[in-house]
Amino acid sequence: MDVQGMLGLWWTVPTGLAVVGYACSLAGLTRPQRAVWVTARVVEVHPPGHGESGKHAIPVTVVYQDPGTGRKFRPRHEGKRGDPVEVAWVGREFPVRFPRRRPERFYLMLDSEGRTSGVGGPNCMVILLVVGLVVQSFFVWGWQWGLICVGGLLLLVVALSRDGEYARARAAQLAEGVTVQGRVVAVTRDVCTDSEGVESVDHACVVAFTTHEGVEVTALRTEGIRDVAQSLGRDVPLRYAPADPSLLTADPDHERRERVSNIRFVVSLLLTGIAAIGVGVYFLHHPWPLT
């Protein structure tokens, strides 16, 4: 079987999985759709101690209720069942899902946006199909059409990306934020080994601060604090959004640099996509001089 035949055969697997996934979503049969979604409230915060591992972020104890039986559950979440919690305070609420009649098998989510329909898997299959189309276009239609497809894929990525929207919303909330004095109460330590057996040590700061509303917040920070490994006991200024203390930064300048970097990346994708389409269209009508 030649390359073209192999690519054509490869398309059938993600296509079938995507069709089955979307069909299950329409029928309400995906795991998130069949699960029970409730709101959990943090009742205890267990920040890691100095020198302990920070790979589980900030462990918290949450309370939620099974609507079917009315029974309350009080499990401890350490980042293994769902999303890790990097900013926590007593009273913070999270969406939690669990299988019906199995409320002890909970998964904590930082948010539920786009996660209740169960179309994440099918969407990934569609992405694979689009990438496959781009790859196959080089073999079937020629490199000119391949460039056009690559450019179209880049423009599609730019159009669907929400990074810019998220960055603008975060910047707007922090711009109206409040600055308080925080304190590094612990420095976590994790030893990592790469594929070649070389060890490296990662540190993160456990920072505690009190909002102007009197809420005691604990956060795990790796950016905006200089000399993290030696920062225990240091006072650091923190800027947070009053409406959501989980939006905070220890270095507003770093935030601005990140936004500029994200904008540059999106613009580079946009320009590259336009250039690829332009070059492909040009050489469709003007043969390559070396061929």
Q: What is the pLDDT of residues 28-81, one digit of tens each?
A: 888 888 899 999 999 999 999 998 888 889 999 999 999 989 999 999 999 888
Say what the pTM is: 0.80
Judged against a pLDDT cut of 80, whether residue 190 lies above it is answered with yes
Please, are residues 98 and 36 in contact by the beta-carbon 8 Å criterion?
A: yes
- Give the residue-averaged pLDDT of 102-125: 86
Q: Which residue has the higher pLDDT, 151 or 197?
A: 151
Cα(65)–Cα(189) distance, rounded to whole angstroms?
35
- Tens-digit pLDDT profile for residues 191-212: 887 777 778 888 999 999 999 9
pLDDT, residue 225, reads 84
Which bin fits 130, alpha (ψ -120 to 50), beta or left (φ > 0)? alpha
- Give the residue-averaged pLDDT of 220-239: 88
Q: Among candidates 75, 129, 122, 82, which has minimal Cα distance to 103?
A: 75
pLDDT, residue 103, reads 92
> For the chain, how far is it from start to end, CA to CA, in angstroms?
28
pLDDT, residue 161, reads 79
Q: Among candidates 238, 118, 228, which has minimal Cα distance to 180?
A: 238
